[in-house]
Amino acid sequence: MNPFKTSKKRVFVTRPFADEGIIMLREKGYDMEVFERDEVISREELLRRVKGADALLSLLTDKIDAGVLEAAGPSLKIVANYAVGFDNIDLVEAKKRKIPVTNTPAPEVSETVAEHAFSLMLALAHRIAESDVYAKAGRYKGWSPNNLIGTDVYGKTLGIIGLGRIGFAVAERAVKGFKMKCVYSDPKRNGDFEREFGATYLPMDKLLKTADFVTLHVPLLPSTKHLISTDAFSLMKKSAFLVNTARGPVVDEKALLIALRTKRIAGAALDVFECEPAIDCDLTDKLELKQFPNVILTPHTASATIEARQAMSRIAAENIIAVLEGREPLTPAK
């Protein structure tokens, strides 16, 4: 007897997450199976449990390749990724099988990630993390005019690499809230953006030479892997800060470590890592990111708010419902 044989549409979810989308799918009467543990599902378990699914709701930590699609079988009609990015999914293999792939570019996610990116900029400039460690260690003995001197964000130049929804939202906070000047680099110029924010389009090399803060908002593609490497760091101001809330491999970690060690840049804030979940790719080089006081690390939590995660959950569910009901997906990955 096949345990997966059912008249209901079957949806497999690879990890527990924000519940609104799960509730929506259950209310549709689908046969729901959610992986029980809050951890990355093993390859073996994924291959076993995806069999016979009509829909797969995956996370960015799941590698969805030909092997997974083959294991699912001909019943699979959609892969809905609970993430804005989708570099964990083999789109070519999915297209071969005519399986739509969707992501979750909710407005709430853009705003949340933009808040996080801008918070990291402020924390770097005002040395918030260093000050927290200093005070908690009992080293604060009274006010000093020279203690933990930082720099202003107000009026400085922000360089945005990748002008998607998140880059746009970062610019709004920077220009309208902190009177920053804005330069940007993107495959396409955006006249509306330039007019609204007084922004200037620059090739990336000129942007790197100009910006006091460089924030990354590009997808992970072959063309963007190690986009920021030795050459890029050599162009940046020594007083400049780098913020990455995009994807870890966009930054060449070894080059970043050397730039920090040689004081080629003033500091960095990372929410994503090249060899994630490892914070360092190579612990033998003795240049670990964790040793630098001018580096802020957050554990891939830029979208970690109730509002953003529930919105992602709803969009993933809406995509599944649309496809299983014979309609086009709302947010196809492209």
Average pLDDT over residues 193-206: 97
Confidence of residue 4 (pLDDT cuts 50, 70, 90): very low
Domains of the chain (ranges, CATH numbers): 10-103+307-324 (3.40.50.720), 107-297 (3.40.50.720)
Catalytic, out of 247, 264, 309, 314: 247
89: its two tokens: 């999914």
Q: If you search the block for the tokens 């543990």, which residue do you land on?
A: 37
275: its two tokens: 């060899």
Instruction: Check: CB of residue 270 under 8 Å from CB of residue 295.
Output: yes
Taking all residues of the chain, what is their mean pLDDT, rounded to a whole number? 95
Average pLDDT over residues 185-214: 97
Q: Specify the pLDDT at position 324.
A: 97
How far is 304 from 317, CA to CA, in rounded Å?
19
How far is 158 from 181, CA to CA, in rounded Å?
6
Does the pLDDT value for residue 16 go beyond 80?
yes
Instruction: Check: CB of residue 24 under 8 Å from CB of residue 321.
Output: yes
Does the pLDDT value for residue 99 go beyond 90?
yes
Stated pTM of the model: 0.88
Catalytic, out of 194, 196, 300, 307: 300
Confidence of residue 287 (pLDDT cuts 50, 70, 90): confident
314: its two tokens: 């709803």
Q: Specify the pLDDT at position 5.
A: 45
Contacts of residue 98, defined as CB under 8 A and 6 or more positions apart, other chains included, come to none
Average pLDDT over residues 55-70: 96
Catalytic, out of 33, 115, 276, 307: 276
Q: If you search the block for the tokens 């953006």, which residue do you land on?
A: 193
How far is 85 from 97, CA to CA, in rounded Å?
21
Instruction: Check: CB of residue 242 under 8 Å from CB of residue 264.
Output: no
Percent of the chain with pLDDT over 70: 98
Average pLDDT over residues 228-247: 98
Q: Specify the pLDDT at position 282.
A: 87
Instruction: Check: CB of residue 311 under 8 Å from CB of residue 106.
Output: yes
Q: Which of 222, 215, 234, 96 is nearest to 156 (CA)?
A: 215
For residue range 264-283, what is the model confidence (pLDDT) as tens digits? 999 999 999 999 989 989 88
247 catalytic residue (yes or no): yes
How far is 215 from 109, CA to CA, in rounded Å?
17
HSE of 255 in the Cβ direction (CA atoms, 13 Å)?
Answer: 19
Confidence of residue 7 (pLDDT cuts 50, 70, 90): low
Q: Specify the pLDDT at position 334.
A: 82
